[in-house]
Amino acid sequence: MRKTTSTNFSNEEALAAICPMHNVMRVLGGRWKIALLYFIYQGHHRFGLLQKKMPFITTKMLSAQLKELEQDGLIHRKIYAEMPPRVEYSLTEKAQTLLPVLEDLYNWGERYIAVPA
Amino acid sequence: MRKTTSTNFSNEEALAAICPMHNVMRVLGGRWKIALLYFIYQGHHRFGLLQKKMPFITTKMLSAQLKELEQDGLIHRKIYAEMPPRVEYSLTEKAQTLLPVLEDLYNWGERYIAVPA
DNA sequence: TACTATACTAACCAAAAAGAAAGTAATGCG
DNA sequence: CGCATTACTTTCTTTTTGGTTAGTATAGTA
């Protein structure tokens, strides 16, 4: 739970007010989110598959970040009423519009960021 | 100091290996960086001016994030041997090439991200 | 001598993010 | 009944990030 009385919290709000980019970063930040979007885009729609693609991520983190992406309207979560359960994640239109921008950013990174040794 | 033996650390490395975007996010992450780039771009080249523009940031954070931006080659730090000291920050070419991409991201955010109430 | 200005650094503490490990739920199968 | 399957949740601990406060350096001015 976020502590809404902290300077940390109010600083973030104040910053968002002067720098709207901050909200974008809030949505795309979080360690696994961009990779998740990428893998879902690649066709790995299920929890288990995503975990196989990223063997390091814990179920807690996967679950949490998928939830945030869903809340931010970037992925859609479809539940099949089966047993064992089946849930499929897919990119929303909103996320589709983001892809080309991320691609530009990716290309910038390729050209200008040295991968740390 | 970063603890290089933690899972946290090795996860980040593993992630960067499968998702090069992670390196981009590492460079642009950190609470104040994008705002800093923006203000420097706007012509606020000095430590004190930047602090005036962002009254919440502490000297420690300002100093730290400027240092990281410099290390990542996004800003240039020019020291004038005067007293009282004068230091001027400016965007590098690398940062200039990033601006249009950030602008696209900004526009995407404007259109698609609801500012939290 | 005391005080100003500027651009910081250092030591310590609070808060947030991430990881580890165990547990839940519902159904079908042997 | 006991186990497998899938997609999680919960609690607790570690790691990282950010904030608070005090202090440094150097020359000029009152």
pLDDT tens track for B70-115: 999 999 999 999 989 999 999 999 999 999 999 999 999 999 997 7
Find the CATH number of the domain harbouring A62.
1.10.10.10
Residue B100 counted as domain residue: yes
Q: Is pLDDT at B1 greater than 90 in this prediction?
A: no
Residue B106 counted as domain residue: yes
CB contact under 8 A, B113 and A11: no
| Residues B40/B49, Cβ–Cβ less than 8 Å | no
Whether B11 sits with its Cβ under 7 A from any strand D atom: the answer reads no
Of all nucleotides in the shown strands, which has a C1' nearest the CA of B84? Answer: C6
Residue B117 counted as domain residue: no
Residues of B in contact with A57 (CB under 8 A): 11
Neighbours of B33 (CB within 10 A): 21
Residue B80 counted as domain residue: yes
Q: Is pLDDT at B117 greater than 90 in this prediction?
A: no
Residue A85 counted as domain residue: yes
Please name the member of A15, A32, A116 whose beta carbon is closest to the beta carbon of B35: A15
Residue A95: the pLDDT is 98
Residue B114: the pLDDT is 78
Residue A82 counted as domain residue: yes
Q: Is B2 exposed, middle or buried (0-12, 13-18, 19+ CB in 10 A)?
A: exposed
Distance from CA of B84 to the nearest CA of A (A): 30
**Ranges of chain A with pLDDT below 70:** 116-117
Q: Is B3 exposed, middle or buried (0-12, 13-18, 19+ CB in 10 A)?
A: exposed
Closest chain B residue to A116 measured between Cα atoms? B23
Domain count, chain A: 1
Residue A26 counted as domain residue: no
Residues 6+ apart with CB under 8 A from A113: B23, B24, B27, B72
Q: What is the pLDDT of residues B5-42, one digit of tens each?
A: 999 999 999 999 999 999 999 999 999 999 999 999 99
Q: Which domain holds residue A48?
A: 31-112
